[in-house]
Chain A
Amino acid sequence: MKIVCRCEDITEEDIIKAIEEYGCETLAELKQLLRLGMGHCQGRTCLILTAKILARKTGKSLNEILPSFRPPAVAVEIGLIGGENGK
Chain B
Amino acid sequence: MESKADVVIVGAGINGCALAYEVAKRGKDVVILEKNYIAYGATGRCGAGIRQQWSTKENAMLAKKSVEIFERLSDELGHDIGLRQGGYLIAIHDEDEMKQAKKNVEMQKSIGLPVRIIYEDEIKEIAPILNPEGMNAIAATFCPTDGHANPFKTTYAYAKSAERMGAKIYRFTEVKNIKTSDKKIEKVVTNKGEIKTEYVVNCAGAWSKEIAKMVGIEMPNKPVRKEALVTEPLKRIFDCMVISFKHGIYFSQQEEGQILGGIPSPEEKSGYYTEPTFSFLKHMSYMLGKYAPPLKYVNILRQWTGFYDVTPDALPILGKTEIEGFIQCNGFSGHGFMIAPMTARLLAQLICNEKMDMSIDRLSQNRFKEKIIKEKSVVG
Q: Which residues from chain A sit less than 8 Å from chain B, CB to CB?
A: 22-26, 28-29, 32-33, 35, 38, 40, 42, 70-72, 75-79, 81-83, 85-86
Closest to A32 in B: B152
B93-119 with Cβ < 8 A to chain A: none
CB-based closest 7 A-B pairs: A79-B296, A82-B285, A82-B286, A75-B299, A86-B286, A81-B285, A32-B152
Report chain B residues within 8 Å CB of A86. 282-283, 286-287
Q: Are A82 and B156 in contact (CB under 8 A)?
A: no
Q: A28-B37, A32-B44, A72-B303 are in contact. Are A83 and B286 (CB under 8 A)?
A: yes
Q: A28-B40, A82-B287 are in contact. Are A77 and B299 (CB under 8 A)?
A: yes
Q: Are A38 and B302 in contact (CB under 8 A)?
A: yes
Q: A33-B156, A78-B289, A82-B289 are in contact. Are A70 and B299 (CB under 8 A)?
A: no
Report chain B residues within 8 Å CB of A82. 282, 284-289, 296
Residue picked from B231, B284, B302, most chain A C-beta under 10 Å: B302
Q: Are B301 and A29 in contact (CB under 8 A)?
A: no
* Cβ-based interface call for B237 (8 A): no
Q: A35-B256, A78-B298, A81-B285 are in contact. Are A70 and B38 (CB under 8 A)?
A: no
Taking the closest CB of chain A, its distance from the CB of B1, in whole angstroms, is 15
B230-289 with Cβ < 8 A to chain A: 231-232, 256, 276, 281-289
Q: Are A25 and B276 in contact (CB under 8 A)?
A: no
> What is the bound-complex CA distance between A75 and B304, given in angstroms?
14
Report chain B residues within 8 Å CB of A83. 282, 285-286
We find that the number of chain B residues with CB closer than 8 angstroms to chain A is: 32
Report chain A residues within 8 Å CB of B284. 82
State the main secondary structure of chain A at its contact with B.
loop
Report chain A residues within 8 Å CB of B304. 70
Q: Are A70 and B276 in contact (CB under 8 A)?
A: yes
Report chain B residues within 8 Å CB of A32. 38-39, 44, 152, 156
* Cβ-based interface call for B368 (8 A): no
Residue picked from B40, B284, B288, B301, most chain A C-beta under 10 Å: B301
Q: Are B300 and A70 in contact (CB under 8 A)?
A: no
Report chain A residues within 8 Å CB of B302. 38, 42, 70-72
Not counting A71-B302, A78-B299, a sample of 6 additional A-B residue pairs whose C-beta atoms are within 8 angstroms of each other reads A28-B44, A29-B37, A72-B281, A78-B231, A79-B289, A79-B297
Contact partner of B299 (CB less than 8 A), chosen from A25, A38, A76, A85, is: A76
A-B contact pairs, 9 of them (CB 8 A): A33-B152, A40-B232, A40-B301, A70-B276, A75-B301, A77-B297, A82-B286, A82-B289, A83-B285
Report chain B residues within 8 Å CB of A78. 231, 285, 288-289, 295-300
> What is the bound-complex CA distance between A51 and B151, given in angstroms?
24
Q: Are A77 and B232 in contact (CB under 8 A)?
A: no
Q: Are A77 and B296 in contact (CB under 8 A)?
A: yes
Q: A28-B37, A32-B152 are in contact. Are A71 and B276 (CB under 8 A)?
A: yes
Closest to B295 in A: A78
Residue picked from A35, A40, A82, most chain B C-beta under 10 Å: A82
Taking the closest CB of chain B, its distance from the CB of A57, in whole angstroms, is 16
> What is the bound-complex CA distance between A26 and B39, given in angstroms?
13
Report chain A residues within 8 Å CB of B156. 22, 32-33
Report chain A residues within 8 Å CB of B152. 32-33
Report chain A residues within 8 Å CB of B296. 77-79, 82
Taking the closest CB of chain A, its distance from the CB of B141, in whole angstroms, is 26
Report chain B residues within 8 Å CB of A22. 156
